Structure 1
Amino acid sequence: MQPEIIMKKCRGYFKHACDNAAVTIASNCHTHFPVKTVKRYSKAEKKHVDITEPNIIRQYNKYMGGVDVMDKVLSSYRPKFRSKKWWWNLFSHALNMAVVAAWKLHMELHTATNNRLSHLQFRREITIHLLHARPFVRSHPGPRSQLPIRLRTSYGHYLQSCAQGRCAVCQRNCRNECVQCRKRLHRNCFPSYHGLA
């Protein structure tokens, strides 16, 4: 049924149909029966009138809260990042849901105390803790800026044949390694790695 036609009907109007057409509300548990009458305010008559209420609507009104509250809280501080990656919306939504679930748990654990944080304060605390976390330092390929003393001496360092691997300096394949350092090196890269060049 078209929304324009439904809007012209009186409040509480519903039509039951069992087909594949689009519906406003659906359930795999409840049906529209038993139908009961409830009092609702009518703008046209400017008073409370009796209307019919299907069972499925009554059950929804009775148990609503969890998903609706979650959607409302999720929308309050939703990340505004845009990306062309297909997975970004899923990831940011899952991350946002985890923060909201943690905040709800915080609210339940601190019901008796006065140190409950608002949703915004809770997000700020998480951000502060993440900013103060120890950063992950990725090691860069190639020689270090300052080699240890033991590597800057040539005594005991020489190349021998080994299985193929990556050179520690230029990252190309090579079949030589330093006996003491156990690093694969080309003959031309050996002096620069040990600080001899």
Structure 2
Amino acid sequence: MLATHNAKGVDVNIPAVNDLYNKKMGGVDLSDKSVQAYDPDARTCKLWKRILINLLLKMMNNAYIVYRQRRGLRQKMHRLEFYQSVYQSLVGEYRQERRRPGPRSALDRLTDRHFVDMIDGSKRKICQVCDRRIRTWCAVCEAGLCVGDCFRRYHTQRDFRRPQQEE
């Protein structure tokens, strides 16, 4: 036990291990704080993926610290600019085109196997038949559809639109 005083000036006894931890914890806290600022928040259940992401973030943080110490007369880059320049130099101009589904033909819609699926979270889609906001859809067609009549009509009729109500 070590005799010390707290923030209010009161003398207290604390274990020697706690005192050593309090003296050495500053570096770990600063490292965690700087890594956390640009954490991609990759939600995964796989522990090895979280460890790998954390290691990569710590590596980038250490590289930025070395850059700041050795930049010399070069213009100072902020942390985000540094990260972006490293990513750009690693990836280059490589871009993978996003696959955007084209319009599906009526034949595909009428002959493929389709099932009702729930939309994740609190998101909603507009029903393709009745224009109501709903939480179900056909994942194959990527179309929001009500369960029951709208889903059946969309997948069995060529012209599935409900006639417009005349006012």
- TM-score, normalised relative to structure 1: 0.40
